[in-house]
Structure 1
Amino acid sequence: MAEASDPKIEQRKAAVSAFKRELIREAAKRVFVEVGLHKTSVREIAKAAGYTTGAIYAQYASKEEVYADILRESLTSMAEAVEQAAAAARVGRKCDAALRAWFEYFRERPAEYDLGFYLYGGAKPAGVGKDLNRELNVRLKRVYAAVADALEADGLVDASKKNEVAVAGASWMFGLLLMYRTGRLKILAVDVDVLIDDCLATLYRGTARSRSGRSRG
């Protein structure tokens, strides 16, 4: 009969494993941003983390699993930031707060922007396998849903249109992030925060016109 494991020992093991995984993720972020997922090897991740390849494989089955874990953590944190911003804002400005939180999350974490949207190797997505892709897509949809729900709470759109408008608003934020991250706005002497204000004002005006047209119809 096997002896019951000591809870304290198991807790210590779990803490050590979590610590190692965090170090591996941080090292992998640097490597992925520099060379991209396809050109990265587990050996390179191990070198950057100061571990052996065996130590990496003890925590992750593949480089794709490391990559997915980074995105999993990022998308969860981002969803929480967007949801909290919307919840804290007054009705009528919830979508504004949600999309600003979306932008600020990535402005403060440029490496996560690069990793999450595959910009290091061009615009072509790099998959991590069917099951991991499915899980990450669910987490990404949670972020969009937070914006969509904020739009509906503000009374800007009805339920049938909220997802479409949320995607449009997020696309503006991504475009501004790209221009900001690549230095294009600095070259053009344009303040990104002014553009954010303009985009959100346009979004609110556009939805107001749409509501007005429906009410007249």
Structure 2
Amino acid sequence: MSEHKRGLILQAARDVFEAEGLEGASLRAVATRAGYTPGALYSYFDSKEAIYAEVLRTSLAALGQAVDEAVARVEAPADRLAAAAMGFFGFYAANPRDLDLGFYLFRGGMKPLGLGRERDEELNRALNAALRPVADAAEALGASKAAADLLLVDVFAHATGLLLLLHTGRIRMFGASAPALMEAYVQLRIDTLRQSGPGRGG
């Protein structure tokens, strides 16, 4: 598949998924949107789950690049942890549809949807890789591997919770700033790691 054709199909797919959700979308709708016949798409994607996975894979690659670029600008472990966490938060703050995509939230709401075991595992690895600089920095600050891995989960959970409040506008009812709360949370975790001592960090 040419890169141009691939780009057209993936953009069309994003548009269709945003409008119809994973459950409501079809490869026929994607093909029509892209200006191709359904048969042309079936030559490359065997199902809508396959093309959704490709769209999400592209999104996660962009997330990983954003986090890596943020971390590359600093050197100290504490700064790397903050940069990674805020890079993750900042990417989804600026790209709410990518957050929706990652949680399959288009129209269908919060449901335990999947794309097939192999695709789910691959995409979960990509998400984990994007967040890995958080755990790496935590270990450099003296956290055990287990504690660093738990911190990665905590940062993910805290960030997504604040992003949900931000993008739904619910944060306004608290008169709070989601970025400021995220920064304060990250600094608190860094301070806790520094106080815990080598090998503990939890």
So what's the TM-score if we normalise by structure 2?
Answer: 0.88
Partner of 1:127: 114
**Cα distance in 2 between the residues matched to 1:127 and 1:30:** 20
Query: Does structure 1 residue 206 correspond to structure 2 residue 192?
Result: yes
Instruction: Determine if contact 1:127/1:133 at 8 Å carries over to the other structure.
Output: yes
Instruction: Determine if contact 1:85/1:101 at 8 Å carries over to the other structure.
Output: yes
Q: What residue identity is the alignment partner of 2:11?
A: E
User: In the TM superposition, what is the alpha-carbon distance from 1:111 to its structure 2 partner?
Assistant: 1.3
Q: 1:118 aligns with which of 91, 104, 109?
A: 104
Instruction: Determine if contact 2:86/2:183 at 8 Å carries over to the other structure.
Output: no
User: In the TM superposition, what is the alpha-carbon distance from 1:167 to its structure 2 partner?
Assistant: 1.0
User: In the TM superposition, what is the alpha-carbon distance from 1:101 to its structure 2 partner?
Assistant: 0.5
Instruction: Determine if contact 2:84/2:131 at 8 Å carries over to the other structure.
Output: no
**Cα distance in 1 between the residues matched to 2:111 and 2:143:** 32
**Cα distance in 1 between the residues matched to 2:69 and 2:142:** 19
Aligned-residue Cα RMSD (Å) equals 2.2
Deviations 1:71-92 (A, max 9, x none): 1111122122212322321312
User: In the TM superposition, what is the alpha-carbon distance from 1:142 to its structure 2 partner?
Assistant: 1.0
User: In the TM superposition, what is the alpha-carbon distance from 1:170 to its structure 2 partner?
Assistant: 1.7
Larger radius of gyration: 1
Partner of 2:138: 151
Instruction: Determine if contact 2:13/2:52 at 8 Å carries over to the other structure.
Output: yes
Greater relative contact order structure (CA < 8 Å, 6+ sep): 2
SS of alignment partner, residue 175 of structure 2: coil
User: In the TM superposition, what is the alpha-carbon distance from 1:134 to its structure 2 partner?
Assistant: 2.2
**Cα distance in 2 between the residues matched to 1:187 and 1:23:** 40
Instruction: Determine if contact 1:157/1:207 at 8 Å carries over to the other structure.
Output: yes
Q: 2:157 aligns with which of 171, 191, 194?
A: 171
User: In the TM superposition, what is the alpha-carbon distance from 1:206 to its structure 2 partner?
Assistant: 2.8
Q: What residue identity is the alignment partner of 2:134?
A: V
**Cα distance in 2 between the residues matched to 1:193 and 1:84:** 19
So what's the TM-score if we normalise by structure 1?
Answer: 0.83
Q: 1:138 aligns with which of 114, 125, 128?
A: 125
Query: Larger deviation: 161-170 or 142-151?
Result: 142-151
Query: Does structure 1 residue 99 correspond to structure 2 residue 85?
Result: yes
Aligned positions, number: 199
